[in-house]
Amino acid sequence: MNKKINLYFFGDPGIYDEYNPAYVCNRNFAAEILYLIAYNEPFSISKSEIIKELKINSDEFNEIIGSLDKINAIDIKDDKYKINFPVFLEKDMPLLDKYFMNIGEVIGNKIIESSGLIYEKISKLTSYNNFSKERLLYHIICDDIFDGTAFEFFTEKDIFRASKMQPGNRDYIIVGYEDSMATEEHSNSILCSSNNYRSKSFVFNSFGDSEGTRKDMFRFFRRVQKILESATPFKDLNLAYIRIIDDNNKEIAEKCGELVWKSFKGEINYSELSHIEINLVNFLSELGYLIVNEENSSISCNVPIFESEDRKVINDVSDIILKKICGLVKETFERFEEDAKGLTPIKHKVSIKEIAIELWHQVFGFTNEYLVKKGFVELPEYRDGEGRYLRSFSTKI
């Protein structure tokens, strides 16, 4: 079996089309081609060598390479290639282990030191009386802060670059890991993956590891898109239909959000719903956002809700935590940079500020694992085939 790269996308990849990195990189042989380019020195492996190694025909190779070049995932020079985003191979793991395997405990303890002040702040949250403080802090610290406000904070400190404008007017960053057991502990297995599906007024969220196929709105819509991509032999027709579905999905999510919001306020009863609303509630129940009580027809919200007014509380907790750990993060990254000359993305001339984005995921992923272990935040139970994750819901109104 050919070696390949597992790919992760952070930011806004836009609609599912030829400029969307998931659409491009999910094509057959794309992950294998990217592995071969990353494994070799920049502009050293040739078109003919890759074709021979993968036993792929020339036309198919040209189409994939053209798509990767179109989204700026690679550079091409004389039919030789280099990677334009951070890729970490098995041989890079010892260096990552050296700097990041134990940092979670150090940062986690610094956060726990401020527990009294943090608890006082979150007592003002809308959902404070509906969920444990550990559950609320799982979403606030592990996701909202570490995978949210921290990016702007550390960008302002010039520690890393939180966004990257891409072709097609997209703003996202790609990160890749070699598909191997040795890299799992730094990629799929740690709590550092936030999925968010946004409508006009609401955000359906889940946060956890990447050890399976989550049952959440973001993953569901994305998997349906992937299936539709090859639904017929007519590629352009499939994409045109996917764009229509994308728009419809936003409308569905908005209507679903309204039902979740009403359930939170106790304003709906299953027996009084229209046919369309019943279908949406059943959909939300399957996704785990709502619970329907068949005995009394009540509908209850099964996840923490964060209202727009809760943002001040979250930002206050963010300031407490990020200011406390900033010096340690900066020092760790500076020491890592001095020792990173042989790292795969460094050899491919990827900016250290862009690499630092993934290094931050390492830092907060291992910190989250430590906070879970200490019971400071809630433990997300493992679901067979889905991994570990918890859902939440936010309003923009």
Can you read off the two tokens belonging to residue 382? 């493992």
The answer to whether the CB of 344 falls within 8 A of the CB of 89 is: yes
Q: Is 45 helix (H, G, I), strand (E, B) or coil?
A: coil
**Measured between alpha carbons, how far is 397 from 202 in angstroms, rounded to an integer?**
8
**Measured between alpha carbons, how far is 335 from 283 in angstroms, rounded to an integer?**
49
The pLDDT of residue 62 is 96
CA 181-364-142 angle, to 5 degrees, is 110
The pLDDT of residue 381 is 93
Query: 10 Å Cβ neighbour count for 227?
Result: 9
The answer to whether the CB of 375 falls within 8 A of the CB of 134 is: yes
DSSP structural state of residue 199:
-
DSSP structural state of residue 265:
T
Pick the closest to residue 249 from 204, 214, 215 (CA basis).
Answer: 204
**Measured between alpha carbons, how far is 140 from 134 in angstroms, rounded to an integer?**
10
**Measured between alpha carbons, how far is 187 from 209 in angstroms, rounded to an integer?**
8
Residue position matching structure tokens 């940062």: 107
Q: 338 exposed, middle or buried (CB, 10 Å; 0-12, 13-18, 19+)?
A: exposed
The answer to whether the CB of 68 falls within 8 A of the CB of 24 is: yes
The answer to whether the CB of 284 falls within 8 A of the CB of 197 is: no
Percent share of the chain, pLDDT over 90: 81
Give me the count of residues in the chain.
397
Pick the closest to residue 188 from 38, 333, 88 (CA basis).
Answer: 88
**Ranges under pLDDT 50 in the chain:** none
Kind of pairing, strands 202-208 and 387-395?
antiparallel
Pick the closest to residue 207 from 154, 160, 147, 157 (CA basis).
Answer: 147
**Measured between alpha carbons, how far is 84 from 318 in angstroms, rounded to an integer?**
32
Amino acid letter, 389 = Y
Amino acid letter, 137 = L
